[in-house]
Structure 1
């Protein structure tokens, strides 16, 4: 059962089969043992949970497992995932675990595990060891010996988020779709009462179910936010995912803002504060991100896809800010972790500094046409990637940081990246060109080589 619930970056599966309370106990026991070893002794582990109907029981079983390993637990209650990332260093805890399945439908649940300083624990940074320790604990339960206390940190969390939110220089109207997820608690706690900010709320009811899937990367799930912005003449729209660590933004015309364009826009804010600093970006991002960072005197740094890699590179470079196409945004002054609330706070502050509508700021950044991510089903992924490297090498720079990136932007006016899925027979294509004709020509060449076009995210 346990191998079915451990993934590359977290624990996630449907409840109650295969993820049930017995499995949650074992995850807690394994994580407790792992973090105790990392800490060279006992310490406190923080636990929080989202609003799914099975989260309270899973979190309780998880806490039992952690305490049975000899570690103390502080229960933070129902909170967004980024709340936990704040709380771990704030309380000098050895780690923390959020009970959540993020953007997945309501029948899913899981655990996001972090170490000291809110460092992510994935397959390459300890999750495999936790899986083994959890497996060893299967079938037997020990008495809970670690202590347990409950703590309310919402006032401290609000103060932390507000360090990224300056006094708004003009009145702003914000439309928010909380997706019936943790933003339904987060947004009122953090943004209610902010001077010059009117918040119009949709799907803030925490009922344990979702009006739409809490995944803002799916275009149809963004439609209520787009319509709400236009109908209410809002300056900005925001749609959160289920555990509210991701936030997708919409301009005043109801157009979705690409996360790479958002990174480019906000780069100026962070580079004014920290001139010459490094800004991290997802390698699938538009060329405009690198160009913008350089033009502002900053240092661009390209990262592999995935929050484990983004956070690690931001920490390694001492970068001030990072953006990923998935909607995760990372901040040095947030323990290098991601936060949907901080992203929204920064965007509001920067927007309030100008009288320009957001669309007029973002549209010039959309200078190069993009394909978006397109999935292709193919059984022989390695052969396809090898052929691309061979056939497109002339006049191009080849980079294998994550899959294969072939950059002929200077010579031919295009670049593309193809990555293999770790879990499915899929290749994922992202491409960009100087003009629509060049992009259409490139896609016409590439698509037949990559397999059968598939749906999915």
Structure 2
């Protein structure tokens, strides 16, 4: 049996070669045996293969003795929410997020919506799939569960509705599932939503929703400009990530959104801890300190961020990749809470999104993440550390290599899945220096790769 769909954090693969109903049924059985779960939430995204895979998954869960609570067509964060909110033993979301349309996958959590990844059960589930199964003495039951009402109420709890006033907001669901939630929220908010690519459609008539790709941004940007909107928001297919465009249609790097959300959240809580990744840090550190909070660095990746948030009881965690995590959301990531907080900030401050962001870009210009294919990533990173480390103010290995000087810093990380090195560079108020050092490091990487 081909089990190549099992990855480090989740399952992703082509349908039906790498993931199909037969395998999904076995995965359901294995999930129950490995986790001991007796009450499991199941949801699925808008992909054409998702209902069949979710049904087979549920069949396997019930055959192993677990009760299935089906929340139907949903987003990943609704599975997280339902698992925690209804005190279930676990949850499984059938989704391949922003992968090609002929792919599908699963994201799994245990009780409290704690992530299940390769180091805490996912590999065990994979290995168990290969062995024979026998049905449980008592089969599990099936129940449809309505979660949208409680979920929307929870989302609205993050903002002060009385402080809101009318704004025009472009929403691009990418024909994923986010539009269904916007339609529900719309009834409770004074905003005028300009909806594009709004209807869920697993054929993805406008391309697979992945707004982090520059070629996928123009539809949102153009609509913001044409409609004179206050901002634009675009989501990936299962809407656990959201991406922002200012009133000029400019795409905003996720790094600056982390700082903005940390600031907005700490204003509400009057302090607290914020978890951030090590790729770009100075803007976040500055804003968290100014808002009376404590910034704590964590290794990149949702499993690491979520665990560190639990360890520190952090109120918020953010990654520049557009994943935003919230303590009151079972420490999970949401693509809906961030834009609500940003819209609230626009209303409360009376400022434009560009004015809030421009000052931060000017203070800490950043390269954005640049990927380079490298034959031997470990050798190249070690050589760069040997060259740049001795004269640095600080060298860190929290995640890859971080090297810091007085007026600029950089982070180099290896990909977990491909021979790629990811570079991020930032400076203190000196865009020319940032660009110069970015180009310098890229040239060094190219030269080392050829040696």
- Scaled by the length of structure 1, the TM-score of the pair is 0.93
Q: 1:407: which partner in 2?
A: 404
Are 2:249 and 1:254 aligned? Answer: yes
Inter-partner Cα distance in structure 1 for 2:292 and 2:421: 35
Inter-partner Cα distance in structure 1 for 2:216 and 2:278: 25
- Contact 2:280-2:426 within 8 A present in 1 as well: no
Query: Which one is further off, 111-120 or 202-211?
Result: 202-211
Inter-partner Cα distance in structure 2 for 1:123 and 1:429: 26
Instruction: Give RMSD over aligned pairs.
Output: 1.8
- The 5-angstrom pairing of residues 300-319 of structure 1 reads 300-319=295-314
- The 5-angstrom pairing of residues 47-446 of structure 1 reads 47-137=42-132, 142=135, 145-167=139-161, 168-189=163-184, 191-210=185-204, 211-366=206-361, 367-396=363-392, 397-408=394-405, 410=406, 413-434=407-428, 435-446=430-441
Secondary structure at the counterpart of residue 348 of structure 2: coil
Are 2:20 and 1:20 aligned? Answer: yes
- Contact 2:258-2:320 within 8 A present in 1 as well: no
Secondary structure at the counterpart of residue 210 of structure 2: coil
Following TM superposition, by how much is the alpha carbon of 1:285 offset from its aligned partner in structure 2, in angstroms? 2.3
Inter-partner Cα distance in structure 2 for 1:453 and 1:23: 43
- Contact 1:105-1:214 within 8 A present in 2 as well: no
- Contact 1:261-1:286 within 8 A present in 2 as well: no
Inter-partner Cα distance in structure 2 for 1:14 and 1:102: 13
Inter-partner Cα distance in structure 2 for 1:244 and 1:346: 16
Following TM superposition, by how much is the alpha carbon of 1:452 offset from its aligned partner in structure 2, in angstroms? 8.2
Following TM superposition, by how much is the alpha carbon of 1:214 offset from its aligned partner in structure 2, in angstroms? 0.7
Number of aligned residue pairs:
443
Secondary structure at the counterpart of residue 249 of structure 1: strand
Query: Which one is further off, 432-441 or 104-113?
Result: 432-441
- Scaled by the length of structure 2, the TM-score of the pair is 0.94
Query: Which one is further off, 283-292 or 431-440?
Result: 431-440
Inter-partner Cα distance in structure 2 for 1:2 and 1:24: 12
Secondary structure at the counterpart of residue 349 of structure 2: coil
Unaligned stretches of 5+ residues in structure 2: none
Query: Which one is further off, 377-386 or 54-63?
Result: 377-386
Query: Which one is further off, 266-275 or 286-295?
Result: 266-275
Inter-partner Cα distance in structure 2 for 1:241 and 1:305: 19
Following TM superposition, by how much is the alpha carbon of 1:223 offset from its aligned partner in structure 2, in angstroms? 1.1
Following TM superposition, by how much is the alpha carbon of 1:360 offset from its aligned partner in structure 2, in angstroms? 0.8
Aligned pair in 2 of structure 1 residues 452, 325: CA closer, same or farther (>3 Å)? Answer: farther
Could you report, residue by residue, the CA deviation over 1:195-215 in whole angstroms, capped at 9, with x for unpaired residues? 421111011112212112211
Inter-partner Cα distance in structure 2 for 1:383 and 1:354: 48
Following TM superposition, by how much is the alpha carbon of 1:62 offset from its aligned partner in structure 2, in angstroms? 0.6
- Contact 1:405-1:417 within 8 A present in 2 as well: yes
Q: 2:32: which partner in 1?
A: 32
- Contact 1:376-1:452 within 8 A present in 2 as well: no
Inter-partner Cα distance in structure 1 for 2:447 and 2:415: 15
Could you report, residue by residue, the CA deviation over 1:79-135 in whole angstroms, capped at 9, with x for unpaired residues? 111111110111110100000001112111000000111111111121111111122
- Contact 2:32-2:38 within 8 A present in 1 as well: no
Unaligned stretches of 5+ residues in structure 1: 37-41
- Contact 2:298-2:305 within 8 A present in 1 as well: yes
